[in-house]
Amino acid sequence: WPAYAPEIDAILRLKRERNAVVLAHNYQTPEIFYGVADIVGDSLALARKAAETEADVIVQAGVHFMAETAKLLSPDKTVLIPDVRAGCSLAESITPEDIALLRQRYPDAPVVTYVNTSAAVKAASDICCTSSNAVTIVESLGAERVIFLPDEYLGKHVARQTDVEIITWKGHCEVHERFTGQEIANYRENHAGLQVIAHPECPPDVLDAADFVGSTSQMIGYVRDRRPDRVLMVTECSMSDNVAAEVSDVEFVRPCNLCPHMKRITLPKIRQSLETLSPEVTVDPGVAADARRAVDRMLAAS
């Protein structure tokens, strides 16, 4: 990408000077994903790799909850998020007070919390999960029923794969909730032989219409391994751009739903973040230990 070369060169130099790594979620734009990222992946992979890195500085090219998770697992490192406004509608949908009320109502049910939540919500939970390990985590608890927060559609998707009773919340991803089953049917009608693969944050009628459902990395793995002639990735649209750069023999049909939060992260902001070592992400010490315990329990069980 010649237009991006000066920014990319500056970031590569700054990474060396700061002993920094850039983590990029699968939804980042190709110039970030391929140009400056050291570690890429879904939420689970980023959480794991953040814990392993020996860098002094972590730049999170993702959203705020991902940066908080990195800080929880690497409390002695400087964790930067290039734009503090990079939030998540799921993380906004639930508070620790909501969890306290749910626990009163269902005292026998442990709380499984999707990583797309604040550190304070993680701290109020028993264990975290991601889209790639949710069923394993739910079943690891040995409970008859669990409270699963905050993504209603992911919760319903899990419920269809387990005998454990799943109590859901009404949180939704603002990107995935916009897809509809009718839209998928229209794509199939207009594109013969189309394989449809969807993220479990999509509504149930979309998941019913899909050939495969999985986390962002599982979706990428499906395309890499199976090489469908034509594929529709029902998720944030930068992911298709990243995978298309890798598998030139696959045709990508692209609905484009952008995550406005992910898109706040740009090369100039990553550069500025490394220059100024800000904005730094910190976690309230009052919740950090309990939040870390919920994430560590997930890593141990998945």
| Interaction site with ligand 13P (CB under 6 A) | 26, 42-43, 116, 130-131, 173, 199, 201, 215-216
Of the candidate residues 53, 78, 89, 131, the single one contacting ligand SF4 (CB under 6 A): 89
Nearest distance in Å: CB 27, ligand SF4: 6
Q: Measuring CA to CA, which residue among 209, 189, 213 is closest to residue 199?
A: 213
Question: Counting contacts by CB under 6 A, is residue 115 touching ligand SF4?
Answer: no
Question: Counting contacts by CB under 6 A, is residue 173 touching ligand SF4?
Answer: yes
Question: Counting contacts by CB under 6 A, is residue 261 touching ligand SF4?
Answer: yes
Of the candidate residues 58, 128, 262, 287, the single one contacting ligand SF4 (CB under 6 A): 262
| 3-class state of residue 276 by DSSP | helix
171 phi, psi to nearest 5 deg: -80, 145
Nearest distance in Å: CB 13, ligand SF4: 29
Q: Which is nearer to ligand 13P, 14 or 219 (CB)?
A: 219
| 3-class state of residue 151 by DSSP | strand
Cβ-based burial of 171 (10 A; exposed 0-12, middle 13-18, buried ≥19): buried
Distance, CA of 23 to CA of 281 (rounded, Å): 14
Partner interacting with residue 89 (select from ligand 13P, ligand SF4, none; CB below 5-8 Å by kind) = ligand SF4
**In terms of DSSP H, where are the helices of the chain?**
5-18, 30-33, 43-52, 64-73, 89-92, 96-105, 119-123, 134-140, 152-159, 181-190, 204-208, 216-226, 238-244, 267-276, 285-301
Nearest distance in Å: CB 25, ligand 13P: 6
Distance, CA of 16 to CA of 108 (rounded, Å): 50
Distance, CA of 115 to CA of 223 (rounded, Å): 25
Q: Which is nearer to ligand 13P, 146 or 262 (CB)?
A: 262
Q: Measuring CA to CA, which residue among 257, 258, 250 is closest to residue 191?
A: 250
Q: Which is nearer to ligand SF4, 114 or 164 (CB)?
A: 114
| 3-class state of residue 236 by DSSP | strand
Which residues define the annotated binding site? 25, 43, 88, 114-116, 131, 173, 199-201, 216, 259
Nearest distance in Å: CB 200, ligand SF4: 11
Give the strand order in the sheet containing 230-234.
212-213, 194-198, 230-234, 251-253
Q: Which is nearer to ligand 13P, 22 or 109 (CB)?
A: 22
Q: Measuring CA to CA, which residue among 83, 67, 72 is closest to residue 23?
A: 67
The encoded tokens of residue 90 equal: 């799921």
Q: Looking at the DSSP assignment, which residues form a beta bridge with residue 129?
A: 114
Q: Which is nearer to ligand 13P, 7 or 201 (CB)?
A: 201
Write the CA distances from 10 to 13, 273, 277, 284, integer angstroms. Answer: 5, 12, 14, 32
Q: Which is nearer to ligand 13P, 129 or 164 (CB)?
A: 129
Nearest distance in Å: CB 201, ligand SF4: 6
Partner interacting with residue 261 (select from ligand SF4, ligand 13P, none; CB below 5-8 Å by kind) = ligand SF4
Query: What binding mask, one character per residue, do residues 195-234 give for ligand SF4 by CB under 6 A, x or -?
Result: ------x---------------------------------
Which residues define the annotated binding site for iminosuccinate? 25, 43, 114-116, 131, 199-201, 216
Q: Which of residues 117-146 bind ligand SF4 (CB under 6 A)?
A: none
Residues at the contact surface with ligand SF4, assessed by CB under 6 A: 63, 88-90, 116, 173-175, 201, 236, 259, 261-262
